[in-house]
A and B are shown apart, each in its own frame.
Chain A
């Protein structure tokens, strides 16, 4: 039976309570009948039967490019860049796609007699990956062959000797990327395109760049002119990256782009979390019992244990496509595949959008979802998972469910702590935040040191998280967090509510007594195609 597409369910009195993720907990909530609807994601698309064969085919028959073997020659300098720990979410079961692809590329390189090969984790300003994370992404064979010889590197956006200024776009945007990559005869970039935002010129122009470059598009103006940043055609973020990509191309930097798409098989067809991927009215008695046991068990656990359990989950995603070659041509095909899996047609906007935020975002893998990341996941990522127009109307209300603990990972997010204590205590206005605080955080020597030598996100990173939500902040009339730490929620500038019913009651201040409500049943991921 072919997978069913995503769809919109109108809630009536027979509709069972709907699943809300709530960090490392789960809730069932009943939505008001006759004025609520639920956007369900599509079921996972079929996976390619032989991923390794598909990968090899993509390398040998690329799009708008010579086959990879003909680009390889003895004596050349080859750099293989790959997406970091922020993709995919949750991490995938072994073997990771990066491992499969890089092993295939290395086999071809070896056959061609290429012996100057360096691997680069394209961190941009993200934290450095741990050895375990690198081993997971690349496999032990690749790790052991490269890491001991210093040939497995992690991009350091604060090492002036490891960066090369390439030039400026026609709008004055500075382009500076990893020197080793820029000076290579060929860059092979290995992507996992989880959502439509990923890939294209953004891979190299962002993943291998520096603050000097990133600040030109990671800012409030760009984010507010990206409607949304998940829709490349309407995204100022992508336009800027594409201009930078042109600068790289004109400078003679050659990139062989490899992009992959995976299906939404996040929790598996069976196993303990499978029920989270089913539609509630199709739950069997066993599903209900499983869910209730899991829900009660999680509620009774200490937070640390819950967190450990969820973060150890590895998703059984299936590879749905792999394409390689020229960046823009490849990305066009990739985007079609992403849309095929994620897009769900939605008619008209709503007064209130609700969402249950899960335990993970791109920036808290094996870490804590701190309040700033809660904001970013809700108002940055989930709000922007639309094409056309936002699911919620301008002036509407966003209600998200998450515990929002006043808690930070001290190693991963040191500048987040200061951002929360200092900046948000002063203002939540993204423009003012950028003008008054960004430069100091971006150039702070201590954050720089921790980014380079520990496993810390760059000092400026929490600013980007806040900017990610700036379109939503401008668009929305109110934001309410259900079940969050009231102090933390207020520090974010939002309103805390104990229950969803309280939140809906509070929303009536903004949208009246009988608002229309749309719940995004996400994850597994979906992208609303709003007409």
Chain B
């Protein structure tokens, strides 16, 4: 079957890194990503299921991998060659349409008993992380045994699949996984109705975090840093009270909070500040912005996958700021009834009509164009770019 795969070829990784540094997304043409025929992944255990993807999104972490700029942190917890794609809506062999919850926790890995986190439903915090019956891979889409969504077929453990209601379109469904990430982060931020909250970034994750905060947390004031016109329009629709330009983040946060400030330009920071910042970009610049504008004792949540960065953490210390991460999903104990994040995300997708964030789809053949489009999504007026597998010829023959 046809699949996009990533091999551990150092020369190609280096080429991708160089190309991606010049033009984000251009690692697709010269890097480790290739379209080729591979064997259909075998079922790791009898209870596993085969999934034929319909749509598979391109995520920021995928782009980092394609451009060779992922953190080396991941090296022991991925296995090559792997097929990327962890934002997946697909069909089971019995025709059930499902979305895949890609975290490979204890149940999927065959650990028995489950670790404490997995037993509590918090798969993102799995205490085993690797091992068991599968090759390393923190998620489907980074594991050589499971395949990924950028292929005609992949495999999933029953604990990973969630049936999609008929009311949701494929476009809605492919947004469930990133929405779950966003929802998990929004809830981890522990925002109250008295808080002024700043969301940095209005790509897919930033917009979904905005929607999640608007629906579940209702902060007193929700500020969103958005660069491009389409992002600004969507952020407003999804609940932003005020939009800030990226180069005016600090000034805008000061204005919104009426805080005193110290310094000018790049050294400007607030004496007071916003209560909570959710950084959906994860660059050194945005983290520095977050630390400059959060109030003493406030919280900064890293939602976007951070790049390796050099940071001055003095403000973290001097202002007693909490810097926390929000990764993946599991069970949302802060919501009534402690639902699975994916179930709550599915409701949010339906309520907010989030399928409209899918701006463009590509066949596997056009993966270079797809990756380049995704890497420049904001500038091109797009949000989510996905692969469309529904018309792949092999799909019905498998």
Contact = CB atoms under 8 A, between A and B. Distances in A.
Contacts of A446: 254, 258-261
Contacts of A421: 245, 248, 251-252, 255
A417 B258 contact: no
Contacts of B245: 421
B242 interface: yes
A444 B251 contact: no
Interface string A420-449: 011001000000000000001001111001
A388 interface: no
A418 B255 contact: yes
Nearest to A423: B255
Contacts of A74: none
Interface string B234-269: 000000001101001001101100111100110000
Contact-residue bracket for chain B: 10 to 19
A425 B252 CA distance: 13
Contacts of B264: 410
A444 B255 CA distance: 8
B260 A418 contact: no
Contacts of A410: 264-265
Main secondary structure of the interface of B (DSSP, over half): mixed
Contact of B252 (A422, A440, A444): A422
A440 B258 contact: yes
Contact of B251 (A418, A443, A445): A418
A449 B258 contact: no
Contacts of B251: 417-418, 421
Contact of B260 (A422, A425, A445): A445
Contacts of A444: 255, 258
A295 to B, nearest CB: 34
Interface string A394-428: 00000000000000001000000110011001000
A422 B242 contact: yes
A425 B265 CA distance: 21
Contacts of B259: 445-446
Contacts of B265: 410
Nearest to A446: B260
Nearest to A444: B258
A446 B254 CA distance: 9
Q: Which of B259, B260, B264, B265 has the most CB of A within 10 A?
A: B260
Contacts of A418: 251-252, 255
A410 B248 CA distance: 13
Given A410-B264, A421-B245, A422-B242, A445 B258 contact: yes
A440 B254 CA distance: 12
A118 B243 CA distance: 47
A245 to B, nearest CB: 34
A422 B242 CA distance: 8
A146 B245 CA distance: 46
Interface in B105-133: none
A417 B265 CA distance: 13
A339 to B, nearest CB: 43
Nearest to A417: B251
A404 B248 CA distance: 20
A417 B245 CA distance: 13
A445 B248 CA distance: 19
A417 to B, nearest CB: 7
Q: Which of B254, B255, B265 has the most CB of A within 10 A?
A: B255
A425 B248 CA distance: 13
Given A422-B242, A422-B255, A449 B248 contact: no
Contacts of B260: 445-446, 449
A175 B56 CA distance: 68
Contacts of A425: 243
A418 B243 CA distance: 12
B336 to A, nearest CB: 35
Contacts of B254: 446
Interface in B263-277: 264-265
A417 B244 CA distance: 13
Contacts of A440: 258
Interface in B354-388: none
A317 B116 CA distance: 85
Q: Which of A410, A446, A449 has the most CB of B within 10 A?
A: A446
Nearest to B256: A422
Contacts of B252: 418, 421-422
A450 to B, nearest CB: 9
B388 to A, nearest CB: 37
Contacts of A422: 242, 252, 255
A316 to B, nearest CB: 37
Contacts of B261: 446
Nearest to A425: B243
Contacts of B243: 425
Contacts of A417: 251
A410 B254 CA distance: 14
Interface of A: 410, 417-418, 421-422, 425, 440, 443-446, 449
21 contacts: A410-B265, A417-B251, A418-B251, A418-B252, A418-B255, A421-B245, A421-B248, A421-B252, A422-B252, A422-B255, A440-B258, A443-B258, A444-B258, A445-B258, A445-B260, A446-B254, A446-B258, A446-B259, A446-B260, A446-B261, A449-B260
Given A440-B258, A445-B260, 10 more contacts: A410-B264, A418-B255, A421-B255, A422-B252, A443-B258, A446-B254, A446-B258, A446-B259, A446-B260, A446-B261
Give the 6 A-B CB pairs with smallest separation, nearest first.
A418-B255, A446-B260, A444-B258, A421-B248, A445-B258, A446-B261
